[in-house]
Structure 1
Amino acid sequence: MLTLDKIYHAAFVLKDVARKTDLIEAPRLSKDCQLYLKTENLQVTGSFKVRGAYYKISQLSKEESDKGVIACSAGNHAQGVALAATRRGIKSIVCMPDGAPIMKVENTKNLGAEVCLVPGTYDDAHDKAVELQEETGMTFIHPYDDEQVIAGQGTIGLEILDQLPDVDAVIVPVGGGGLISGVAFAIKSLKPDVKVYGVQAEGAPSMYRSLHEHKYQTLSAVSTFADGIQVKTPGELTYKLCEEYVDDIVTVTEDETAAAILSLMENQKLVAEGAGAVPVAAALFHKLPIEGKKVVCLVSGGNIDVNILNRVITRGLVMSGRKANLTIALEDKPGQLQQVADIVSRCGSNVVSVLHDGSDPNMPISSCFLKLTLETRDNAQIEQIRQELTKAGFQLVAERV
């Protein structure tokens, strides 16, 4: 049974292992509330997961330790298990989905674990890990549905209350529910009036649906670039804890998450992965009743694949009106391109790419498409450019794509 004493014990065990991450005020992110960031993206291994994994492994018997441990993970739990097992001289095998970010796979290997890549999603990796555990007799370290793992994650709740005693609300990312279960239990046990909210990706709302429909359930499919919370089935224990201690769970879109990652980079000089940015997305896009409150967003991890990061930044720029793609139908005659360029320049925008396409079979022979990519200040500037082009007689075929 999860108790506050167990979470305090986990904090004691972790004091020389896990970093007490900074709580940073972030006034530039939101004008509606007093926003703070709990920077678990700066944790050892780049994620909060080391807390739960290390505490669980530290409590194994000698017999269990001698047999080794096995885990399944999209990446962050993998690194936590690898670090904890290696530090304690224990063999570890981690099953990971074959689509896991390369950086997370390599880091897990570098931390001393044997990695088994499994085709499919996290849930497929879980099934493979269970199969291997039955074959080998190793101890299975569940990424979220385990009392000791939850206790380890709950140490973050203790730290938040210590760092900001008058906090009004804490916003936490939710995948399987281990993090929010531990944080909510710790906070509600000590300060029941503090609100604890969860956030899931719109394409992977397993806990959101379970709580809102009051029925534990498994999704048939999930889809999100926030791989750390791409979970079809929430934990049974975590579901019960969330029902009792979590005030509400909301969802955010992929574009909102991308915009939050970009905002964290620009305004706070922090790199967050998708799962780590969803609490900030919920705050930025007004998903929760936090106006005028002291709010902590738990940035759970920063292990984002650099290949994905470029695409995420591009989507974030489009979402925030900092980048626009315009397609204009032109008559193919001299002076048209210059006229368009003059309008764009006069509106204060910058052209970063131009494609003059006369090959589209749907266009008259004497016409063409002019496709522009623009750097812009905001959505208002994009609308101004659109209006000025229309006023000058140009036909806009497509706006932001």
Structure 2
Amino acid sequence: MTPTTLADVRAAAALLDGVIEHTPVEHSRALSELVGTAVHLKCENLQRAGSFKIRGAYTRLSGLTPEQRARGVVAASAGNHAQGVALAARELGIAAKVFMPVDAALPKIAATRDYGAQVELAGTSVDEALTHALAYAERAGAELIHPFDHPDVVAGQGTLGLELLDQVPDLATVVVPVGGGGLAAGIVAALAEARPSVRVVGVQAASAAAYPASLRAGRPVAARDMRTMADGIAVGLPGSVPFEILAAHGTEIVTVSEEDLSRALLLVAERAKLLVEPAGAAAVAALMAEPELFTTGPVVAVLSGGNIDPLVLMRVVRHGLASAGRFLQLHVRLSDSPGTLAELLRDVAGTGANVLDISHARTGVDLGVDEVAIDVQVETKGLEHCAAVHETLRACGYRVTSTTRTA
């Protein structure tokens, strides 16, 4: 296939005019201070259908022939692509069927249906759902809409890059989440011609990163592991279309840990007052984990999506609080006598920590006959406060045998 060009991206922008939101760019003082240069957030979490996916989906569907439109379209997705295709199909008057994994988040299923698509739950993963979508496409003659591996999709996603040039005229660095690579490839394709001096850095979850090995091998290579909270970028094999663009331009890819992702989501919520999904926080996670890599600014971190299940949000926020040192688990040995627990709790309260939970163990191979093991979970104000609590209790003579941050 012919690589996506700036002309293709500009044509997609014309198609999308009046269809998508030109999402805002917000300055982040917290990240700017951390990195040492101006950092902005591209709020694509505020896009229609909650992510950048509508850009590529609408561009792809707009290119279908009347005959293809009449036969309808089919897609497979766990969330964002499903909603993007459903909304684009509704706008263009095309029937859409979307296969989603049986454990897909209920809010994402409901949103996809609300946009007018017929949803069928099939398989336990997006790959298995895609198998069902391919079978349906062959059986019904529907056009398969791939989430990232098509030039039209890449061109549509690239319109985000053109917006950045208007919103941040002196743009120097763009940091963008990477799953299959469509968004990053579109931005690279646009900026390589329009502003070749801009550096584009892709970010993957370390536990679901196919691109680093693929770029080293010079071809798409499947990831061995796919365990990450960032399901929006959990793609096992790079698409050939975006891979060709990213490889040809030597695009840098960095990885972030699950702790990095949860801390980033928490920072965006607390400091920027924005709700994003774990995948949408990946760019911020990279800035927080290795700020020294991004000192050439202005920097824009793309918040690629905000479609998060409230139950997942609750777990990720707790994980982020733990990673930031906001919870502390104390394992303390006490004399098994009246008043010792009350004294421990008074001393913990004196440190300013808030007790959340307590458990006792009176039997254990490492406990004396007159000892009790107490596990106390407390809420703290950060890593320095955790250290202070630990130090104070040791100074009071407590045998604190282990301390771990936990959610």
**Displacement after TM superposition at 1:246 (Å):** 4.9
Aligned to 1:282: 286
Q: Is the 8 A contact 1:181 1:245 kept in 2?
A: no
Are positions 1:13 and 2:15 aligned together? Answer: yes
Aligned to 1:244: 248
Q: Which amino acid aligns with 2:245?
A: L
**Displacement after TM superposition at 1:60 (Å):** 0.8
**Does the residue aligned with 1:28 lie in a helix, a strand or coil?**
helix
**Displacement after TM superposition at 1:379 (Å):** 0.7
**Displacement after TM superposition at 1:102 (Å):** 1.5
Q: Is the 8 A contact 1:53 1:152 kept in 2?
A: yes
Moved more, 374-383 or 206-215: 206-215
Count of aligned pairs between the two proteins = 401
Q: Is the 8 A contact 1:332 1:367 kept in 2?
A: yes
Task: List aligned pairs for 1:349-388, cutoff 5 A.
Answer: 349-360=353-364, 363-388=367-392
Structure 2: distance between partners of 1:220 and 1:234: 13
Q: Is the 8 A contact 2:175 2:203 kept in 1?
A: yes
Are positions 1:42 and 2:46 aligned together? Answer: yes
Q: Is the 8 A contact 2:172 2:296 kept in 1?
A: no
Aligned to 2:122: 118
Structure 1: distance between partners of 2:136 and 2:302: 33
**Displacement after TM superposition at 1:354 (Å):** 2.3
Aligned to 1:62: 66
Moved more, 182-191 or 117-126: 117-126
Q: Which amino acid aligns with 1:367?
A: E
Aligned to 2:160: 156
Q: CA RMSD in A?
A: 1.6
Q: Is the 8 A contact 1:46 1:303 kept in 2?
A: yes
**Displacement after TM superposition at 1:369 (Å):** 2.1
- With over 3 angstroms needed to count, the CA separation of the structure-2 counterparts of 1:214 and 1:368, relative to structure 1, is farther
Moved more, 178-187 or 330-339: 330-339
Structure 2: distance between partners of 1:319 and 1:78: 32
Aligned to 1:80: 84
Task: List aligned pairs for 1:217-232, cutoff 5 A.
Answer: 217-232=221-236
**Displacement after TM superposition at 1:25 (Å):** 0.4
Structure 1: distance between partners of 2:111 and 2:368: 55
Task: Tell me the TM-score normalized by structure 2.
Answer: 0.95
Q: Deviation per CA, 1:303-342: give whole Å up to 9, x if none.
A: 0110011111111011111222222122212332233223
Aligned to 1:135: 139
**Displacement after TM superposition at 1:288 (Å):** 5.9
Aligned to 1:212: 216
Aligned to 1:346: 350
Q: Is the 8 A contact 2:210 2:237 kept in 1?
A: yes
Q: Is the 8 A contact 1:250 1:287 kept in 2?
A: no
**Does the residue aligned with 1:276 lie in a helix, a strand or coil?**
helix
Q: Is the 8 A contact 1:30 1:284 kept in 2?
A: no
Among candidates 100, 105, 113, match of residue 101 of structure 1: 105
Q: Is the 8 A contact 1:206 1:233 kept in 2?
A: yes
- With over 3 angstroms needed to count, the CA separation of the structure-2 counterparts of 1:212 and 1:396, relative to structure 1, is farther
Moved more, 201-210 or 294-303: 201-210
Q: Which amino acid aligns with 2:244?
A: K
**Does the residue aligned with 1:396 lie in a helix, a strand or coil?**
strand
- With over 3 angstroms needed to count, the CA separation of the structure-2 counterparts of 1:321 and 1:30, relative to structure 1, is farther
Structure 1: distance between partners of 2:218 and 2:335: 59
Aligned to 1:187: 191
Q: Is the 8 A contact 1:74 1:97 kept in 2?
A: yes
Among candidates 255, 262, 265, match of residue 266 of structure 2: 262
Aligned to 2:175: 171
Aligned to 1:23: 25
**Does the residue aligned with 1:224 lie in a helix, a strand or coil?**
coil
Q: Which amino acid aligns with 1:273?
A: E
Q: Where does structure 1 lack aligned partners over 5 or more consecutive residues?
A: none
Structure 2: distance between partners of 1:213 and 1:364: 58
Q: Which amino acid aligns with 2:21?
A: R
Q: Is the 8 A contact 2:173 2:296 kept in 1?
A: no
Q: Which amino acid aligns with 2:202?
A: G
Aligned to 1:297: 301
**Does the residue aligned with 1:93 lie in a helix, a strand or coil?**
strand
Structure 1: distance between partners of 2:225 and 2:256: 17
**Displacement after TM superposition at 1:385 (Å):** 1.1
Moved more, 222-231 or 150-159: 222-231
Structure 2: distance between partners of 1:395 and 1:187: 59
Structure 2: distance between partners of 1:395 and 1:211: 51
Structure 2: distance between partners of 1:234 and 1:118: 23
- With over 3 angstroms needed to count, the CA separation of the structure-2 counterparts of 1:246 and 1:11, relative to structure 1, is farther
Q: Where does structure 2 lack aligned partners over 5 or more consecutive residues?
A: none
**Displacement after TM superposition at 1:164 (Å):** 0.3
Are positions 1:197 and 2:201 aligned together? Answer: yes
**Displacement after TM superposition at 1:301 (Å):** 0.3
- With over 3 angstroms needed to count, the CA separation of the structure-2 counterparts of 1:11 and 1:348, relative to structure 1, is same
- With over 3 angstroms needed to count, the CA separation of the structure-2 counterparts of 1:322 and 1:293, relative to structure 1, is same
Structure 2: distance between partners of 1:385 and 1:30: 30
**Does the residue aligned with 2:318 lie in a helix, a strand or coil?**
helix
Q: Is the 8 A contact 1:275 1:301 kept in 2?
A: yes
Moved more, 335-344 or 162-171: 335-344
**Displacement after TM superposition at 1:168 (Å):** 1.2
Structure 2: distance between partners of 1:361 and 1:242: 57
- With over 3 angstroms needed to count, the CA separation of the structure-2 counterparts of 1:8 and 1:292, relative to structure 1, is closer
**Does the residue aligned with 1:308 lie in a helix, a strand or coil?**
helix
**Displacement after TM superposition at 1:129 (Å):** 1.2
